Amino acid sequence: MSVIEVSHLRKVFGDNEVLHDISFSVNEGDVISIIGSSGSGKSTMLRCINYLEKPTSGQILFHGRDIASGDIRIPDYRAKVTMVFQSFNLFNNLTVLDNCTLGMRKVLGISRHQAEEAAVSHLATVGMDAYIKAKPRQLSGGQKQRVAIARALCMKPEVILFDEPTSALDPEMVGEVLNVMKLLASGGLTMIVVTHEMAFARDVSKRVIFMDKGVIEEDNTPDVIFNNPEKQRTREFLSRVLE
Amino acid sequence: MGFFDWIIKLLSEYWMLFLEGSGYTLAMAISGTIIGFLIGLIVAIIKTTPTDPSVNPIKRAVVRFVGWILTVYVEVIRGTPMMVQALIIHYSLFARIGIHPLLSAIIIISVNTGAYMAEIVRGGIISVDKGQFEGAEAIGLRHFQTMFSVVLPQAVRNIMPSIGNEFVVNIKDSSVLSVISITELMFMSKSAGGTYVQFVPAYVICAAIYFIMTFTVTRLLRLVEKRMDGSDSYVICGSQSDYHSMIKVKGGDDGCR
Ligand SMILES: Nc1ncnc2c1ncn2[C@@H]1O[C@H](COP(=O)(O)OP(=O)(O)OP(=O)(O)O)[C@@H](O)[C@H]1O
Ligand SMILES: [Mg+2]
């Protein structure tokens, strides 16, 4: 059974229908890249999956159960399907270490000592364990994003949603973050990644979803999407971004 | 006798009055600011509790109703002079049930400060970047957990200058509470000047003492702000395998694991 299934998802802001009837499913260990032009609804879809936005209609199923049904509490669900943002959103008042332990202590109820131990090991995974005492404002963009990824890992999530994790970074820092993401992908983590990094979408993901104007235009393997797309719109989009 | 001679004479004869008056003034200003801040914090937390459709309807109704009452409190208190509030509340209620005027004054100044603080704290909360809430929500923190661990520490830091402002205002404006027979600094200065009908020298002393108090408080709060900001440097801890090659960038306690 799929870990996450998005079923007939619609989202309307005012009278602007941003997502029309989105459906797809994600299996355990899948790395799915979402590509598409600006304003096509990629972030909104990801935010609906994390329930930061409430779907107007349709369902998000987690292991087959509708997350809106009350079977699972939204905060507990979010700890399992957590999110990494373009703008990092690290807690500015806390050190790197406390950024990582806060969720474990408050949401998972882990003791401070154990949380710190786990946090240091996840920070080591992203190469940031030397910076446990630093505050976010003292870090570079790439470092912040790696800490944000460690913070997400600390929740022992089943899925991590990434919303353009490298778009706010200077070009020389993009690589360090993508390397961490590749490492997680090869470790079997389930990931849904909204990205403009076509090389990542092509080389790392198992499936690529192309979104256009609030619908899924094409959902295919990277090989088909990049070498022989079925849809004209996919072809047009890729020729624009890959030139 | 010259002006300065009067100042010295008044000081040497009535220093006890000035001291006692300053004591009352400081007692009212300090407790009023601290308790008022706590009131403002509670009011602002309640007023920024989400009431969107995803919240359960009973909780939403309660939050809305309490929020409405708090709005009335804030508007009425901010819209009327503290002196008038003191006269009404003290003589119609507190004096009748035998509450000491100082306690009465502290309650009044706290309730008054609370109304202003409520709006200051609310402003601090809504000025914290929305991403801070989302970053916390996205890993499963609940609204109040986010509030206490992430948002309020940042909001309070950002409103420290305004809190300092309220403190200074309280030091000066507590003088109106002499209407409920508090022998604060302003009242005592008037008494000290009365014996020889030398009011101007007495008030000059009074002004100097007010200035010393407000200036000291402003400086102290700056120091508190600096403490809250923490140090500008941090320690790079060697990696786990390389525990002993710890690089110290600056400063004492390194806290490496
Ligand atoms: N909170 C909101 N209120 C109203 N409209 C919104 C809101 N959030 C997004 N939108 C609208 O929804 C549409 C899709 O936005 P979204 O951010 O999901 O696009 P995107 O594909 O992520 O674009 P980008 O690549 O630029 O990040 C846009 O037209 C945007 O203006
Ligand atoms: Mg987006």
Pocket test for ligand 1, best of A12, A18, A217 (most atoms within 8 A of CB): A18
C-beta A44 within 6 A of ligand 1: yes
Whether residue B140 and residue A155 make contact (CB cut-off 8 A), yes or no, is yes
The CA distance from A75 to B138, in Å, is 8
Per-residue model confidence (pLDDT) at position B257: 57
Q: What is the largest CA-CA distance in chain A?
A: 55
Looking at residue A64, its amino acid is: G
The CA distance from B50 to B69, in Å, is 17
Whether residue B150 and residue A91 make contact (CB cut-off 8 A), yes or no, is yes
Closest-CA residue to A151 (of B148, B141, B152, B142): B141
C-beta A195 within 6 A of ligand 1: no
pLDDT digits (tens, 9 = 90+) for A2-36: 999 999 999 999 999 999 999 999 999 999 999 99
Whether residue B137 and residue A78 make contact (CB cut-off 8 A), yes or no, is yes
- The nearest CA of chain A is from the CA of B215 a distance in Å of 29
**How many angstroms separate the alpha carbon of residue A232 from the centre of ligand 2?**
23
DSSP string covering B161-177, please? Answer: HHHHHHHHHHHHHGGGG
Q: What angle do CA B19, B24, B26 make, to 5 degrees?
A: 90
pLDDT digits (tens, 9 = 90+) for A151-197: 999 999 999 999 999 999 999 999 999 999 999 999 999 999 999 99
Q: In 3-state terms, what secondary structure has residue A42?
A: helix
Helix axes A96-106, A141-154, angle to 10 degrees: 20
Cβ contact B44:B122 at 8 Å: yes
Residue that is written with structure tokens 């009452």 in the block: B69
**What was the ipTM of the complex prediction?**
0.92
Closest-CA residue to B210 (of B228, B186, B188): B186
The CA distance from A181 to A169, in Å, is 15
The CA distance from A166 to B13, in Å, is 73
DSSP string covering B21-90, please? Answer: HHHHHHHHHHHHHHHHHHHHHHHHHHHTS--STTS-HHHHHHHHHHHHHHHHHHHHHHTS-HHHHHHHHI
Handedness of CA B105, B110, B115, B116 (dihedral sign): positive
pLDDT digits (tens, 9 = 90+) for A49-104: 999 999 999 999 999 999 998 889 999 999 999 999 999 999 999 999 999 999 99
**How many angstroms separate the alpha carbon of residue B42 from the centre of ligand 2?**
36
Summary count for chain B: helices (H), strands (E): 9, 0
**Domains delineated in chain B:** 16-182+218-232 (1.10.3720.10)
A100 Cβ partners below 8 Å, 6+ apart?
A: A115, A119, A122, A123, A147, A150, A151, A154
Give the nearest ligand 1 atom to A14 CA. 4
A83 Cβ partners below 8 Å, 6+ apart?
A: A46, A47, A50, A52, A152, A160, A161, A162, A163, B138, B139
pLDDT band at B55 (very low <50, low <70, confident <90, very high): confident
The CA distance from B208 to A156, in Å, is 61
pLDDT digits (tens, 9 = 90+) for B126-174: 999 999 999 999 999 999 999 999 999 999 999 999 999 999 999 999 9
Cβ contact B104:B94 at 8 Å: yes
